[in-house]
């Protein structure tokens, strides 16, 4: 079955090989891919904000880096992945508009990336590749049979990390 | 009014919010029409309450390439305002304004980009100033910023702002178009949760 599994904004999903996970038009949000290379189990979270503890209304766990990563790990373990074999790849976290304000909001892309990296480190999950920051949108596809993360942008070469 | 719930807005509230879109977009399309000296039609405004994962569908899908002009709205109403054009429409609009042949789709030049930015300035300004006079509320728009990219990426910016307060976004969307030269786009007003309470109250509607 080669149908791509679509992950929306503030959404996450996990699947077994040869499933393909995709999220379209990532802007300031971050796409976090986790992978168990032995069992070929992949997971993708499209998070919007760095930290659930800073927000009152935090029932959607997929919206935040901290709770999203934890939920994704749980889902993958349920599919048979081993937590200590997981590796990660990250994409997104762009600054789409160049607002020059002191407002932290406009740095949200960077903050999302920083938070994701910090949480992965704390969990001892190695980050194998990262295509983050800059000022453009990204569509990503994760191939669970190979572990490749395919990144498409408008007007630039596609890349694989 | 602070605790207004998006899920329980009734038809009266939605009608009032649509009317806001109608008046704001009406002024903005008039400004656009004067600039290009053509009649610009406007669709009936829609009030949409969307989950984040549905958000980019409104602009033709997450990967659809669009020109987005975004500005922050501050003052007694907070939120964001967006003026969105498909790239083809943006080319047509620039061609109309610059007196270039229609269907020239070279890369945007610096001049084209600043023309687009200026159009965005004038149009969003017209929308917000009519909203301000209608509601008698002080509204301070920020300087507009432009990005040309995937619709999903552009919409992630207001979506994240909403993500801080809830799991849905309320937006007031009005489409516009100029048939002969194929310029179609959208005005999107995205008030934060507190602000549509403020808007409704200012118009004498209790939530």
Q: List chain B residues with CB under 8 Å of A105.
A: 160-161
pLDDT digits (tens, 9 = 90+) for B72-93: 888 888 888 888 988 888 888 8
Quote the percentage of chain A above a pLDDT of 70. Answer: 94
Yes or no, beta carbons of B152 and A98 under 8 Å apart: no
Contacts of B161 by beta carbon, 8 Å cutoff, 6+ apart: A105, B79, B80, B190, B192
What is the pLDDT, as a whole number, of residue B25? 85
Residue A117: in which H helix or E strand, if any?
helix A108-122
pLDDT score of A101 more than 80? no
- Using CA atoms, how far residue B166 sits from A37, A59, A141, B75, B130, in Å, is 36, 9, 28, 21, 28
pLDDT score of B2 more than 50? no
What average pLDDT is seen over chain A? Answer: 91
Yes or no, beta carbons of A8 and B166 under 8 Å apart: no
Yes or no, beta carbons of A48 and B156 under 8 Å apart: yes
pLDDT digits (tens, 9 = 90+) for B127-173: 888 888 888 889 888 888 899 999 999 999 888 888 887 777 888 88
Quote the percentage of chain B above a pLDDT of 90. Answer: 7
**pTM of the shown model:** 0.86
Yes or no, beta carbons of A98 and B151 under 8 Å apart: no
Rounded to 10°, the helix B11-36/B87-98 angle is 40
Q: Using an 8 Å Cβ cutoff, are B87 and B185 in contact?
A: no
Nearest to A49 among B70, B72, B160 (CB): B160
Which of A7, A21, A29, A120 is labelled catalytic? A29
pLDDT score of A2 more than 80? no
- Between positions 48 and 67 of A, the ones with CB within 8 A of B are 48-49, 55, 57, 59-60, 63
Q: List chain A residues with CB under 8 Å of B160.
A: 28-29, 48-49, 105, 108
| Res. B1 pLDDT band, cuts 50 70 90 | very low
Fold observed for domain B11-202: Chemotaxis protein chec (3.40.1550)
* Range among A48-62, A102-116, B16-30, B146-160 with highest mean pLDDT value: B146-160
Compute the distance between CA of residue A32 and CA of residue A87 in angstroms, rounded to an integer: 10
What is the pLDDT, as a whole number, of residue A65? 94
- Has domain A4-160 been given CATH number 3.40.50.920? no
What is the pLDDT, as a whole number, of residue A84? 93
Partner residues linked to B74 by β-bridges: B140
DSSP letters along chain B, please? -TT--GGG--HHHHHHHHHHHHHHHHHHHHHHHHHHTS--EEPPPEEEEEEHHHHGGGGT-TT-EEEEEEEEEEESS-EEEEEEEEHHHHHHHHHHHHTPPTT--PPPPHHHHHHHHHHHHHHHHHHHHHHHHHHT--EEEPPPEEEEEEHHHHHHHHHHHHHTT-SEEEEEEEEEEETTTTEEEEEEEEE-HHHHHHHHHHTT---
Yes or no, beta carbons of A26 and B52 under 8 Å apart: no
Specify whether A29 is catalytic. yes
Using DSSP's 3-state secondary structure scheme, residue A83 falls into helix
Q: Using an 8 Å Cβ cutoff, are B178 and B40 in contact?
A: yes
- Using CA atoms, how far residue A49 sits from A45, A53, B2, B40, in Å, is 12, 11, 23, 39
What is the pLDDT, as a whole number, of residue B17? 82
Compute the distance between CA of residue A7 and CA of residue A12 in angstroms, rounded to an integer: 6
| Res. A53 pLDDT band, cuts 50 70 90 | confident
Nearest to A57 among B72, B147, B166 (CB): B166
pLDDT score of B34 more than 50? yes
Give the residue extent of every domain in chain A: 4-160
Q: List chain A residues with CB under 8 Å of B151.
A: 25
Give the residue extent of every domain in chain B: 11-202
């Amino acid at each position: 079955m080669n149908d791509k599994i679509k992950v929306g904004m503030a959404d996450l999903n996990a699947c077994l090989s040869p499933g393909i996970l995709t999220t379209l038009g990532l802007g300031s949000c971050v796409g976090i891919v986790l992978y168990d290379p032995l069992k070929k189990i992949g997971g993708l979270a499209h998070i919007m904000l760095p930290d659930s503890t800073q927000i009152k209304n935090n029932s959607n766990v997929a919206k935040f880096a901290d709770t999203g990563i934890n939920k994704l790990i749980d889902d993958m373990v349920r599919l048979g992945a081993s937590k200590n074999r997981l590796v990660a790849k990250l994409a997104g976290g762009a600054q789409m508009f160049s607002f020059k304000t002191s407002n932290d909001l406009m740095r949200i892309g960077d903050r999302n990336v920083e938070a994701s990296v910090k949480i992965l480190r704390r969990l001892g999950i190695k980050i194998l590749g990262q295509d983050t920051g800059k000022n453009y949108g990204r569509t990503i596809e994760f191939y669970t049979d190979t572990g490749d993360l395919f990144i498409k942008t408008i007007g630039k070469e596609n890349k694989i990390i | 009014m602070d605790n207004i719930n998006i899920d329980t807005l009734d038809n009266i509230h939605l009608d009032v919010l649509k009317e806001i879109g109608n008046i704001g977009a009406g002024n903005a399309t008039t400004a656009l029409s004067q600039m290009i000296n053509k009649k610009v039609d406007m669709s009936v405004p829609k009030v949409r309450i969307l989950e984040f994962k549905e958000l980019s569908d409104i602009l033709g899908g997450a990967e659809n390439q669009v020109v987005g002009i975004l500005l922050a709205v501050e003052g007694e109403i907070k939120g964001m305002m967006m003026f969105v054009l498909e790239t083809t429409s943006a080319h047509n609009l620039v061609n109309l304004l610059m007196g270039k042949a229609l269907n020239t789709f070279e890369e945007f030049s610096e001049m084209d980009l600043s023309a687009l930015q200026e159009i965005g300035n004038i149009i969003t300004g017209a929308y917000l100033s009519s909203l301000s006079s209608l509601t008698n509320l002080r509204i301070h728009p920020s300087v507009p910023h432009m990005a040309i990219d995937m619709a999903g990426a552009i919409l992630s910016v207001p979506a994240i702002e909403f993500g801080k307060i809830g799991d849905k976004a309320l937006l007031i969307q009005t489409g516009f178009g100029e048939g002969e030269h194929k310029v179609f786009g959208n005005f999107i007003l995205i008030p934060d949760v507190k602000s549509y309470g403020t808007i409704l109250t200012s118009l004498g509607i209790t939530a």
